[in-house]
Structure 1
């Protein structure tokens, strides 16, 4: 199903409704106005005819001889046609006098008082001198349609001019009205295992309170579940470390006391299993710290000394110290609100993975570049993009026969995300045909 925009749907519905209401109101107004126009024009037609009767009768009686038909009025100087035309007829229907735009031939209206209409005109007939003189005034329907159409345009045109303005105002009002929805969405989006604080509902509209309340209930349940999981992981790891360390020490003493034979080999296998279990307990402790969201600190920290101390620890550990090579750009900066322990744990896991799972005959290169990024490169087989994507999951292992828990990259990724850094995995490594490369990029260093 395609997602849709609430704002666009609301604007379309709102503008469509306004337009339809305007059009309906205009049509209804024009219908009422047409009736009023007809009454007004008919009244004007009747009044004109009745006013002409005494004038025409007086004029006829003043003249000794009438040359019929007589055109009474000259053409208008503005060359516009007459709205009303008239004829004066006798009882036989003969046209005695007619206006300038009236035809010399008789109107089709009958010689009887009142209104009469044909397809093109509306007529009113007024009588005088005992129904021997008839004054007929005609009004073309085109005049009425013209007046109605001009009125309709005056009502219709503003909506086309106001639609863009209405759309802009509606968009602004809608965006402001829906701003709390966007703010709520951004606040929900910011929630993760490191930020499970309840949503603030003081400034939310009433319509959003049920949504925020439901989200807060869900956040509370998730927080309780995560806290229980972290507490269990940390407590389990702590509880395991002491007996594992004791069992490992006793096993090592037993190995020293036993002579060569099957018993010593079995004791060696027990030692190996205890070392694996101790390593797993250590990783579980690191994972519990990663889930607690301790990647940032209130005060800015310079991480370059932390990197150097970490490299020195590897060099003095007595294991593969010759394989680890560290290069730092002289102008490199790595400074920000980062937790030094979180950075050390994340980088330690990356370096341990490179040393343990990389080609034992190839060096491991740790490089701090001028832009503050750190790359860890080791030799080894090439991974496909799908295989690389799976490596950051929990208990995921690559092409290796070495011991491990499959948690190192997952722990490093979690810590780096909390530090707003990104971990990019590449295979083959940059500038090589084989190997594995992990690149850590921190936010821009000023």
Structure 2
């Protein structure tokens, strides 16, 4: 499963993003609520402290002592040094500040702002008390920066643990999603194992109800596909069987006709004979194709494939001394045992040899190397580009149409090799050479116990 496009990762990512959005909205709402609550609490604190501060400041600043008291109290308050959280001032009924905690604070004028109310500037939020019997008011100021800092500290304390929680939620949701989607992975593997040779129904046992309907639909589709492929294979096989006898008779009659017209123009007879031979090869390929796509697989009975290869070489060489001279095989007589069907091995070997004879350089040898588990057929000739080489095992694909082939030999060989538990690999240039092609047919081997 691809990580960049996995469903589990997408579900975990989108779920975590949704959770992160919820957390962000929660933080914004919490920030607004904290600000409101903080302002309400600190405003109430200022309101409750105003009569206490009034009681403390009035004896220290009797109005009959004039401005001297202001100077003395201001000197005392100056010990605060840096900016304080809270400032205060005592203002008489004429608007004169009798006592204040800091000299650099511009306290509001109660005659302008009114009394028993709140007022704010860039630095402080003030509460201006109601006047006492002497007409004096107390102004208490709370630092706006301190209020903001208190809100931020509370917000960080609330939102801080949520950041790693989002990451933890991503990992947790991803693990849960992967566990929940495990049946989907199993179903994907089951579908990936299906091909033209394996179209058996998928097992829906243990799958969630949502996937059972998908499996039922796929099983119905594969059943119809299997019937269509079976009909195709049966038609090809039956047609090939029916055509073999009349083609053989027609070819024999053509050859007999040629023998009777020795010395005459035989161009038409040769053309008919070549057409019949091509038709015979096509019928043979159709029979092999039906066998390959039936997916029979290995026989399980060990055979000496060296003997099979010798028979194939002998059949191909026959009475043709030129072909016999070009086929160079390993002279070893060491048995090579395999569980592959003798017919399948013979078909693959014959097709590879035929391809080498048809497309290889006509004046250079073809080497056959048989080892335990592999048959290598190499021929000289032109080098095939990798992109073309990769397509030669597909149906009806020919690299050179001049060879007269049908484009089925390598496809049939690769299918039979795969069904037997092996494979077919093409190399160009040929192994150990500068040109040509090597076809390596691998097959399972069987070892016999010494006992």
**TM-score with structure 1 setting the length:** 0.77
- How much has 1:293 moved relative to structure 2? 1.3
Q: 2:192 aligned with 1:189, yes or no?
A: yes
Counterpart of 1:34? 35
Q: Residues 265 and 141 (structure 1 numbering): CA distance in 2 closer, same or farther, change over 3 Å?
A: closer
- How much has 1:40 moved relative to structure 2? 0.7
- How much has 1:24 moved relative to structure 2? 1.8
Alignment of 1:104-183 (within 5 A): 107-110=107-110, 113-119=115-121, 120-127=123-130, 130-183=133-186
Q: Distance in 2 between matches of 1:207 and 1:77?
A: 77
Unpaired segments ≥5 residues, structure 2: none
Q: Distance in 1 between matches of 2:433 and 2:48?
A: 105
Q: Distance in 2 between matches of 1:136 and 1:322?
A: 120
Indicate the SS of the match to 1:68.
helix
Q: Is the 8 A contact 2:85 2:146 kept in 1?
A: yes
Q: Residues 181 and 110 (structure 1 numbering): CA distance in 2 closer, same or farther, change over 3 Å?
A: same
Q: Is the 8 A contact 2:306 2:333 kept in 1?
A: no
Q: Is the 8 A contact 1:315 1:322 kept in 2?
A: no
- How much has 1:146 moved relative to structure 2? 1.6
Q: Give a deviation string over 1:218-258, Cα, whole Å, max 9, x none.
A: 322221111000111111122233444555667777888x5
Indicate the SS of the match to 1:30.
helix
Q: 2:308 aligned with 1:309, yes or no?
A: yes
Q: Is the 8 A contact 2:420 2:444 kept in 1?
A: no
**TM-score with structure 2 setting the length:** 0.77
Counterpart of 1:293? 295
Counterpart of 2:49? 48
Q: Is the 8 A contact 2:116 2:130 kept in 1?
A: no
Aligned residues: 434
Q: Is the 8 A contact 1:294 1:342 kept in 2?
A: no
Q: Give a deviation string over 1:361-412, Cα, whole Å, max 9, x none.
A: 5432111357x44310234555555664554344455658776544322211
Match of 1:219 among 212, 217, 222: 222
Alignment of 1:177-256 (within 5 A): 177-209=180-212, 211-245=214-248
Unpaired segments ≥5 residues, structure 1: none
- How much has 1:110 moved relative to structure 2? 0.8
Indicate the SS of the match to 1:19.
helix
Range with bigger deviation, 308-317 or 193-202: 308-317
Q: Residues 53 and 381 (structure 1 numbering): CA distance in 2 closer, same or farther, change over 3 Å?
A: closer
Q: Is the 8 A contact 2:361 2:380 kept in 1?
A: yes
Counterpart of 1:83? 85
- How much has 1:287 moved relative to structure 2? 0.7
- How much has 1:197 moved relative to structure 2? 2.1
Indicate the SS of the match to 2:90.
strand
Q: Is the 8 A contact 1:307 1:344 kept in 2?
A: no
- How much has 1:138 moved relative to structure 2? 2.0
